[in-house]
Amino acid sequence: MKSKYQSLRIAIHLSIVLVACLAGRRSFSQIVMLQETTPRPVAEQQTFDLGRLQGAAEPRSALKYLFAVDAIRPRNGNAAVHYLSALSHYDSARPLLQGDETQWDSIWLSRGTDLPLDDVARTLEKLTRVRQAIQEGAECQYCDWNTDWSDRRSLNEMISMNIETHQRMRQLMRLLSLETNYALAVGDFDRASSALTCQFEIAKDVQTPEFLITHLIGIAGAGIAFHDCHTWIAQPNSPNLYWALTSIDGNVIGRRSSYLGEVRLLRFGVEAFQSPETLDWTSQQWVDSLARDFAVILPGSDESENALRGVVSAMIVRGYPIAKQRLIAEGWDTDELENMETAQVFCICESLNLARAVDDCLKWSLLSPAELRQAVEANLALTGDTTLPGRAKNFENNDGFLTPFIPMMLPAFNAAEKASERAVVMLAGLRTVEALRMHVAETGEVPASLSEIHIVPVPNDPRTGDPFPYHVTDEAVEIVLPDVSYNGSRDIVYRFER
């Protein structure tokens, strides 16, 4: 059975790409970049109203609220076992839900703390076993979904993971969000803290095995939890979350391991690209191998693989002269290339393209957000292009990829990078908000600038190393997270009334 992950790969509209490329109108990369750069309307900012600015001191026990449980009181065992149990309990409880309960995630989640409290309490009670299993999973020492594929070499093996289970983990994170908002509405901060902690733990645990898609699921879960932190801060007399936010595991929002997983998929998943210069295959074997791996990525039946053989043959015919020319320019012996199968020459060239492209994508993930932003700005000054050097170029027919494997991945890399950056910035912004509240509790004064806060370190914008923009007026205090592209808005503004 084809996995859900395969259909996600098709989001690039590969069929359109193949037709256009084979017609000679566009290269794969040009079409993908056209999709990526389509302008969208962008609002100036999204403002989170955090209520009246009141001081919130550090809790009497500084780590009373902690968003990383396993470091302090780990439970023996595998978290995945408990999460799967939670999903099973949820399926069993669904027939017991009635009325609005059946659509709780679409009806109630958008209401924040403005909830029908009695109805929500009854719903959460019906899902008690689900919640208990989630708690047990969040407290476990490790999470292993039994999908270790580090030693696999088949593309089919590498992406045969059951992504549907990971997608369903969103339901558990939304349930925790509902509980968080209910607890905040009734003033139970301990219960809200427990639910938030589980949200962040699931956001971390769902990111195994390391793929971009699992990373994006985890980042989405962390985003829900960050939004609930906004709601927490806006509640009257809410405890300070500075140290709780500081305790969040870096793996929740880091992207490097997911990049490595995707690189492994590209580097070792396509058999015909693994040391093709050493393979002694017939022309038909080359075509069959490429068609088989294409069929794994494309949804469909065995007929799809048969149809793809013709597409692959056409790509080889079209790409062979380009491949041969490039390899000769790089020092390959002309006679040696002419004695090879045309498909072999094609695959040698494309395997080199692939290795260089994935390295170009991965190398930027090794930088800190500030260094990454510096690289973007430097390239913008030199070329007028905001794309990182090597990440995506304006590949012409004679200077681009010969197959769709690499261009299909570029939007996923870019989406993961933007999502990770946004999460890192939001975390720093929330910690800045809590540093402000702690300062006000300590001094009784609103600081004129963030540099006046000394009770705890105030995070800078991780992309620039500079303080976040901070504005104080007679009516309000605002902390601005610039250029984070959140929900169609350019900036995030945290606003307190005075």
19: CB partners within 8 A, 6+ apart: none
CA distances from residue 148 to 80, 156, 157, 261, 312 in whole angstroms, order as listed? 13, 14, 10, 11, 31
What predicted TM-score, i.e. pTM, was given to this entire model? 0.77
Mean pLDDT of the chain: 80
List helix spans (H) across 142-282: 155-158, 163-185, 189-205, 212-234, 242-246, 256-269
% of the chain surpassing 70 pLDDT? 75
- Residue 490 in 3-state DSSP? strand
Tell me how far apart the alpha carbons of residues 478 and 202 are, in angstroms, rounded to a whole number.
31
Residue 52, SS3? strand
pLDDT of residue 457: 95
Cα–chain-centroid distance for residue 459?
Answer: 23
> What is the average per-residue pLDDT within 160-181?
86
The pLDDT > 90 percentage for the chain reads 46
Contact 462, 370 (CB under 8 A): yes
- Name the least confident of 124-133, 350-359, 386-395, 449-458: 386-395
| pLDDT score recorded for residue 254 | 66
Instruction: Return the amino acid letter for 432.
Output: T
User: Bridge-partner residues for 480, per DSSP?
Assistant: 493
In this predicted structure, the answer to whether residue 17 has a pLDDT above a threshold of 60 is no
Instruction: Judge contact between 402 and 353, C-beta under 8 A.
Output: yes
What are the angstrom distances between the C-alpha of 361 and each of 136, 263, 484? 37, 9, 21
Omega prior to 209 cis, within 30 of 0:
yes
- Band (pLDDT 50/70/90 cuts) for residue 7 is very low
Q: How far apart are CA 345 and CA 341, in angstroms?
A: 7
Rounded to an integer, what is the distance from CA 272 to the centroid of its chain? 29
Tokens of 179: 């509980």
**Which has the closest alpha carbon to 170: 130, 196, 145, 206?**
206
Span 140-144, average pLDDT: 87
Closest CA to 227 of 56, 435, 422: 422
| pLDDT, tens digit (0-9, with 9 covering 90-100), for 353-396 | 888 877 777 777 777 777 877 777 787 777 776 666 555 443 33
Alpha carbon distance 2, 5 (integer Å): 8
Contacts of 470 (CB under 8 A, 6+ apart): 449, 450, 477, 478, 479, 480
* pLDDT tens digits for range 283-342: 999 999 988 887 766 544 455 667 788 889 999 999 999 999 999 999 999 999 999 999
326 Cβ contact partners less than 8 Å away, ≥ 6 residues apart: 349
Q: Could you tell me which of 417, 491, 495 has the C-alpha nearest to residue 461?
A: 491
Residue 164 corresponds to which amino acid? Answer: E
In Å, how far are 256, 304, 473 from 369, measured between CA atoms?
A: 12, 42, 31
